[in-house]
Amino acid sequence: MGKYDLLKLENQLCFPLYASAKEIVRKYKPFLDDLDLTYTQYITMMVLWEEKEMNVKTLGEWLYLDSGTLTPVLKKLESKGYITRKRQKKDERNLCVSITEKGEQLKEQAIEVPLKMGACINLNAEESKSLYELLYKMLRAL
Amino acid sequence: MGKYDLLKLENQLCFPLYASAKEIVRKYKPFLDDLDLTYTQYITMMVLWEEKEMNVKTLGEWLYLDSGTLTPVLKKLESKGYITRKRQKKDERNLCVSITEKGEQLKEQAIEVPLKMGACINLNAEESKSLYELLYKMLRAL
DNA sequence: CTTTCACTTATTGTACACAATTAAATTTAC
DNA sequence: GTAAATTTAATTGTGTACAATAAGTGAAAG
């Protein structure tokens, strides 16, 4: 192992992580275009399909995103009619994001997305599970 | 497995990939700040430390990036004096990117970065190898 | 009370990331 | 030989992503 070998792209762990995350999000695009959602909007809706409502801070913790990213995403989803944004009465610092009826309906269409994506990933069940666990182990420590 | 279970964030493979890529790039930031490089600039320099020169298209293939991303990154690196950009004589469509002496010197400082990052990743050698191979297997198919 | 402190969201500025388009140069087909 | 097709970068427009800052609110200390 030469002095500079660790600086080669091929010896980096971060690079395939960075590149495959990008490529897989790109793979989502045609499926998400059908729903008129971007990937960031999609994962935001995922949380709200499950939880119905949540304040911005908690949403950011779920998604590993800060308010600088979420604010424009949430405004966009609001303008599409999928969510509402409302200050909480008892503590006006909190902004509560809630899913609308129209947002709920989108869920029916969205069911297709994970199925279609599954077919794009070249890993078997065991490999997927292994990858999933390694990623979460790393993520928890970051 | 309910009808909607695949739409839960916790059942997604893409989400931990997306989130951990983001978090690991963020982890690089303080180390890269010392070199006055962003992550994208850093991986670009990595290719040039190894190859010395390359045209934009090939660079994009190595990095999985298109010219819309690379053009401003390369102009920034040029303004910092780490690279030069020059049209090829025999085919003026090609823009050839070359590392400068100052860019070469930066490599000495950069050696520290992978060492420092290695300490941030909570995986042992075997797990890292396994993650690396799964990511590349997926990436090749995307 | 009131002033300080902590908390939460929004805004601003910088830097990607990519689709779509444009522009310029070269290659090819005829 | 020239028109059409292809190749390569750059540009434009939209949408993240995050650090730093600002603004507003509520809680706590005195």
Domain topology for A12-113: Arc Repressor Mutant, subunit A (1.10.10)
Average pLDDT (B30-49) is 95
Average pLDDT (A50-69) is 94
Cα A86 from Cα B6, distance rounded (Å): 29
Q: Is the dihedral of CA A25, B133, B41, B59 positive or negative?
A: negative
Å from the B20 CA to the D28 C1': 38
Task: Name the pLDDT band for B85 (thresholds 50, 70, 90).
Answer: very high
Which positions of chain D lie under 7 Å from any protein Cβ?
7-13, 15-20, 24-27
Hey, what's the torsion of the CAs at A15, A16, A22, A28, to 10 degrees?
-170
Interfacial B residues in 93-132 facing A (CB < 8 Å): 107, 110-111, 113-115, 117, 120-123, 127-128, 130-132
The reply to whether the CB atom of residue A66 sits less than 7 A from any atom in nucleic acid chain D is: yes
The reply to whether the CB atom of residue B91 sits less than 7 A from any atom in nucleic acid chain C is: yes
pLDDT in tens, A3-37: 888 899 999 999 999 999 999 999 999 999 999 99
Instruction: Flag whether pLDDT at A140 surpasses 80.
Output: yes
Task: Name the pLDDT band for A131 (thresholds 50, 70, 90).
Answer: very high
- pLDDT score of B69: 96
Domain topology for B12-141: Arc Repressor Mutant, subunit A (1.10.10)
The reply to whether the CB atom of residue B93 sits less than 7 A from any atom in nucleic acid chain C is: yes
Rounded to the nearest 5 degrees, what angle is found at the Cα of A22, between the Cα atoms of B28 and A104?
Answer: 115
Of all nucleotides, the one whose C1′ comes closest to residue B94's CA is D8
Cα A125 from Cα A36, distance rounded (Å): 30
Task: Name the pLDDT band for B40 (thresholds 50, 70, 90).
Answer: very high
pLDDT in tens, A72-91: 999 999 999 999 999 887 77
Cα A45 from Cα B121, distance rounded (Å): 30
- pLDDT score of B138: 93
Task: Give B96 to chain A, closest Cα distance, Å.
Answer: 20
What is residue B90's DSSP assignment? S
Cα B127 from Cα B123, distance rounded (Å): 6
Q: Which residue of B5, B15, B32 to mutate against A (max A Cβ within 10 Å)?
A: B15
DSSP characters over A12-59: -SHHHHHHHHHHHHHHHHHHHHTTT--HHHHHHHHHHHHHSEEEHHHH
Task: Name the pLDDT band for A41 (thresholds 50, 70, 90).
Answer: very high
Specify the 3-state DSSP secondary structure of A86. strand
Task: Name the pLDDT band for A142 (thresholds 50, 70, 90).
Answer: confident
